[in-house]
């Protein structure tokens, strides 16, 4: 799908949210799947052979805020992640799906996003 050709959504005027700007087509991204309410695109700095970010198009700061405000939309993010995992060939060997939330998790972009990681053994869940 060509960048910048994703319907009529526009980031709110003055938004400085990176992922809202990707949704609006104002910043390019490699989109792998789009639904009416979600977008999946490749991470710019992949940590695994497959590293896709799955977001709600609507802005929520993190997954907790999203889940409280709109559990149905949170489910749609999970459903999109599952379809992308299938399309990326990850369902046989498995994958990791994670939402960094807040400072202890090192969240850097404050627009809720799932990291879909796979394509090779991912190692232990946490490095200490």
- Nearest residue to 88 (alpha-carbon basis) of 46, 45, 26, 25: 46
Is 15 one of the binding residues for ligand 5GP (CB under 6 A)?
no
Number of H helices, E strands in the chain: 3, 5
| Nearest alpha carbon to residue 57 among 49, 66, 46 | 66
> x/- site string to ligand 5GP, residues 105 to 124, per CB under 6 A?
-xxxx---------------
Complex with ligand 5GP: residue 92 or 104, whichever CB lies closer = 104
> Where does this chain touch Zn ion (CB under 5 A) — which range of 10-18, 64-72, 91-99, 114-122?
10-18
Near ligand 5GP in 79-108, by CB under 6 A? 100, 106-108
Q: Contact 75/81 with Cβ under 8 angstroms? A: no
Catalytic residues: 113
């Amino acid at each position: 799908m060509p960048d910048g050709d994703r319907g009529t959504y526009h980031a709110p005027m003055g938004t400085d949210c990176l992922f809202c700007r990707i949704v609006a087509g104002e910043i390019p991204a490699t989109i792998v799947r789009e639904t009416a309410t979600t977008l999946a695109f490749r991470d710019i700095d992949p940590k695994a052979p497959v590293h896709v970010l799955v977001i709600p198009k609507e802005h929520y700061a993190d997954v907790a805020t999203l889940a409280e405000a709109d559990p149905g939309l949170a489910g749609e993010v999970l459903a999109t992640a599952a379809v992308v995992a299938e399309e990326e060939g990850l369902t046989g060997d498995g994958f990791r799906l994670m939402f960094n939330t807040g400072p202890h998790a090192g969240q850097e972009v404050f627009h809720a996003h799932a990291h879909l990681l796979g394509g090779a053994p991912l190692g232990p869940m946490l490095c200490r």
